[in-house]
Structure 1
Amino acid sequence: MTGPRVDRFHRLVHRAPTPPATSCPSPPPPTWRRSPPRPPATASPSCLPADQARRPFAWLPCRALASAHSALIGGTALLALAVLAGFANFAVMESLVAEGDAQRTAQNIREAEMLFRYGVAGFLVAAVLDVVVAWALQVFFAPVHEGVAMLGAWLRAVYAGVFIVAIAQLAGVPSLLGAADATGGRLDAEVLSKINAFHDIWDAGLSLFGLHLALLGYLAYKSRYVPRLVGVLVLIAGLGYLVDSLGRLLVPGSSIEAAMFTFVGEVVLMVWLLVKGGRVTVDESEPASPVRQR
């Protein structure tokens, strides 16, 4: 058999068998596709770049929000601190303590013991508010120079600790007066000694407070959002506390009271924080001008 018939026969014999028909069509071959890209990570709650996320107080909602809130918190705490410290120092200590007269001082405190206790409590709350002010002002002035702002905050926090040690001298006065009553008043002199120790420790701590104000004045002067006059006044207030503290330490019997005149800088800063500080926001898009006012 030759010719076209033989070729057709060979094609029929060697053809691959046809698979049996099925009722269900075979599934299509799997196709491999690239998984969709992950959505970009959301911005950090602090509105800061990743390399700044570890900075102090970066957990706050935003640096701009932190500056505005810290100004209001600091101004409010300074106002409350001024009221409490003024009440405790002038309405209580100045009215009850007779300088150099232990018997009269003890008698005054006995007659107004609750007022004396309120004064001690006012001093204690004022010391706690000093820590709040230290934190708030550190956040507010960190855009100017974070290191200097942190140093200033630590100086005020340490001053608050020294102030609490001084207040502890007053806290033991009521119990000492009770013991003096039981022994016929022989402990009146020790009561006056504790009150004098309170003033001595407080005066020494004011040197730290003066350094804190000096650094604060420098930061306010260098910033672009606090008037330079405010910075100068705060710096002068800090120098006044330094002169008073070092003067009493180096010159026995010194009666220098420079802070009675230079404290105006503290008042001006407090008013500015309450009135204008809440309008300050951080501009992250302009490194040369990190802070602006709304």
Structure 2
Amino acid sequence: MRLRLVPEETHIDFFKARKVTFGASMILMVLSLVAWMVMGLNFGIDFRGGTTIRTQSVHAVDVGAYRDALQPLNLGDVAISEVFDPTFAEDHNVAMIRIQAQEGEESVTNETIQSVETALQGVDPDIQFTSVESVGPKVSAELIRTAVLAVGISLIAIMFYIWLRFEWQFSLGAVVALFHDVILTIGIFSVLQIRFDLATIAALLTIVGYSINDTVVIFDRVRENLIKYKTKPLQDVMNLSVNETLSRTVMTSGTTLIALIALLILGGDVIRGFVFAITWGVIVGTYSSVYVAKNIVLMLGTKRDWSKPSKTEGNQYANIDN
């Protein structure tokens, strides 16, 4: 017996409320952009420049006392937050201290780090610095440019690939769906103020790859069915194609989410932002493959005569005229 999460044959009308689903997606994209502009992103040290110090102690973290101890050092913008994780033991108290890049310096000097440690030991003698990461302002600015360029080039390359493999309508639908996934991910990071760093950029690129893979699988089935059913309305062909690939979509997304949720819960705070981005991306990417990419193609229409040379020409579709 084989495990089936969906029946072998389904007849779900995915486009019954297509105006509602597509409209909701567009509204969420606008709200995400507004949240991004109004609330901004909680940039990590990679993009802001400065130094991040991770501390650990057997005593509870007192953020107010830490801040008062560092105030006389005149370090500028200092952000202190306690790190919570279900995997931590009772005596495992972790804090994250972010210090802005100092004027005229590429990073916080060793003397400054030593003075920070001395000041905090006055509050908690058992405090330890488990990691110290520094990024200069020039490097952080370069990283931002490189990150934007990486995401932009990937979207352009995907659009060109889909255009060559299918038609321009499919290419536009795929790229709009990818923009939808990326913008909604940035939006939820802005609303929840989750740290946005280089790992998040890697997650965005992973989301783009995962989403386009699911979209291309369905597009392939749509093309096959357009050849097979030459007179069936485009909406019906797309519905049939999504239903035929539904089992594969659910199994792929489901097994991926099982691993991601396990990492989200047990993986620790260091990779939590990265894992959360991919988890969210898998969900919205699966949704956009059906309710965004296919809606764009449906609105634009596409040709029904796929007369390009093909290895299958003259065999399985040769005598089908329904």
Does TM, normalized by the shorter one, top 0.5? no
Higher strand share: 2
The normalised TM-score by structure 1 is 0.30
The normalised TM-score by structure 2 is 0.28
